[in-house]
Amino acid sequence: MVKFDLILLIILVLLILTTIYAYVVDEISLRLFALLLTSMTISAVILGRRLATGA
């Protein structure tokens, strides 16, 4: 479980960094930003469910 959470955290950090970089470099990053928001929402739901079940 801990490994999975760590991998999820690393993926989120990479997505945030690439989104910031793309936003600074390019204006087309709106799609990437939408992707980032979607992935953050999904991971928040996953973590929320895990906390709710106490797993």
Question: What letter would DSSP give residue 1?
Answer: -
pLDDT tens, position by position, 4-53 = 778 888 888 888 887 777 777 776 667 777 787 888 888 888 888 887 78
Decide: pTM greater than 0.85. Answer: no
pLDDT confidence of 1, banded at 50, 70, 90? Answer: low
DSSP 1-55: -HHHHHHHHHHHHHHHHHHHHHHHH-STTHHHHHHHHHHHHHHHHHHHHHHHHT-
Rounded to 5 degrees, φ, ψ at 26 are -135, 155
Domain ranges of the chain: 2-49
Q: What is the pLDDT of residue 2?
A: 67
